[in-house]
């Protein structure tokens, strides 16, 4: 019976199958053109929670962007050219991610009132926004890598990680033109590498601030002794 149910075609949109969409879209009896479907368990709440966490993650990332801007300038980007390109890429990536998150969360929240064909449309639309975000993040990591190789803003191996991640993001950006699983794999890999890259750059910038603080305290001690003498 399960196989027969999957094989049914959508009478509303004859070129689509039910398994084109996540199982949770058909939860709570939502079906094709009034078709009576059995209730399937689904992770709507997980999508809603993940969307909220994704929005909250923008706060530390924006703080990280400020530190990156300052570090690139101190490294030698006196015109703020690469720093501006990197931050604009981050903003484009954030806009694409926020729009995709909002679209997916809206479908999850209103799944009872959304037909399967409409749900599929919004998922594809969200993927298009995510593709634009992937291009923006590619600009971010590649601009930072240029600053690494040109000014030594980070160790060179960090720059090569950025180059690899930028290539993965550019490939993942092709998802705007296809729904193939292979491109989705590149998208997943690019975000994993980006998370590692973010962590590495954050640690390097944090340790540099500690070193600067220790250096300023050490410089203040001889000056204080000179005043007393």
pLDDT at residue number 96 = 87
How large is the average pLDDT for residues 197-221?
71
- Establish if 110 belongs to a structural domain: yes
Asked if residue 89 belongs to a domain, the reply is yes
Query: pLDDT tens-digit profile of 148-195?
Result: 999 999 999 999 999 999 999 999 888 777 777 778 888 889 999 999
* 134 falls within a domain: yes
- What integer pLDDT is reported at residue 2 of this predicted model? 37
* 20 belongs to a structural domain: no
Both structure tokens of 185: 């794999």
pLDDT for position 103 = 82
Nearest CA among 45, 55, 68, 30 for reference residue 144:
68
Residue 78 in domain: yes
Identify whether 74 is part of a domain: yes
Q: What is the pTM of this model?
A: 0.69
Write down the pLDDT at residue 195.
93
Give me the domain span that covers residue 124: 54-212
Greatest mean pLDDT among 14-23, 68-77, 169-178 lies in: 68-77
Query: Who has greater pLDDT, 63 or 7?
Result: 63
Higher pLDDT, 14 or 160: 160
For residues 4-25, give the mean pLDDT.
41
Q: How far apart are CA 138 and CA 162, in angstroms?
A: 9
Average pLDDT over residues 74-90: 93
Contacts of 47 (CB under 8 A, 6+ apart): 24, 104, 105, 108
CA angle 88, 90, 91 (to 5 degrees): 65
Kindly tell me if the per-residue pLDDT of 142 is higher than 90. yes
Q: How confident is the model at residue 107 (pLDDT cuts 50, 70, 90)?
A: confident
Does residue 30 lie within any of the structural domains? no
Q: How far is CA 39 from the centre of its chain?
A: 32
Mean pLDDT of 198-208: 92
Residue of 161 and 217 predicted with greater confidence: 161
Looking at every residue in the chain, the average pLDDT score rounds to: 75
pLDDT score, position 86: 95
Task: Indicate if the pLDDT at residue 111 is higher than 80.
Answer: no
In this predicted structure, the answer to whether residue 81 has a pLDDT above a threshold of 60 is yes
Which of 136, 133, 164, 132 minimizes the C-alpha distance to 148? 164
Of residues 56 and 133, more confidently modeled? 133
156 Cα distance to chain centroid = 24
Q: Which of 95, 91, 86 is nearest to 128 (CA)?
A: 95
Give the model's pLDDT for residue 211. Answer: 57
Answer whether residue 66 is part of any domain.
yes
Q: What does the DSSP assignment read for the chain?
A: -HHHHHHPBPSSSTT-BGGGS-GGGGGGG--STT---------HHHHHHHHHHHHHTHHHHHHHHHHHHHHHHHHT-TT-HHHHHHHHHHHHHHHHHHHHHHHHHHHHHTGGG--HHHHHHHHHHHHHHHHHHHHHHHHHHHHHHHHHHHH-SS-HHHHHHHHHHHHHHHHHGGGGG---HHHHHHHHHHHHHHHHHHHHHHHHHHHHHHHHHHHHHHHHHHHHHHHH-
User: In this prediction, what percent of the chain has a pLDDT beyond 70?
Assistant: 68
The number of distinct structural domains making up the chain is 1
């Amino acid at each position: 019976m399960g196989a027969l149910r999957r094989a049914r075609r959508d009478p509303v949109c004859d070129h689509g199958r039910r398994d084109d969409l996540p199982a949770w879209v058909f939860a709570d009896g939502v079906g094709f053109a009034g078709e009576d479907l059995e209730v399937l368990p689904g992770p709507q709440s997980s999508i809603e929670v993940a969307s909220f966490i994704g929005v909250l993650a923008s706060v530390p990332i924006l703080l990280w962007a400020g530190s990156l801007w300052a570090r690139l300038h101190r490294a030698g980007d006196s015109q703020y050219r690469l720093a501006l390109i990197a931050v604009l890429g981050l903003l484009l990536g954030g806009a694409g991610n926020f729009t995709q998150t909002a679209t997916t969360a809206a479908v999850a929240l209103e799944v009872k009132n959304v037909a399967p064909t409409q749900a599929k449309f919004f998922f594809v639309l969200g993927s298009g926004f995510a593709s634009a975000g992937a291009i923006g993040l590619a600009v971010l990591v590649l601009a930072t890598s240029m600053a690494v190789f040109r000014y030594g803003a980070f160790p060179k191996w960090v720059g090569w990680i950025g180059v690899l991640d930028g290539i993965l993001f550019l490939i993942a950006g092709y998802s705007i033109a296809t729904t193939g699983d292979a491109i989705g794999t590149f998208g997943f890999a690019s975000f994993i590498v980006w998370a590692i890259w973010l962590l590495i750059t954050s640690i390097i910038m944090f340790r540099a601030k500690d070193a600067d603080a220790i250096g300023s305290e050490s410089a203040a001690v001889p000056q204080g002794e000179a005043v007393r003498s």
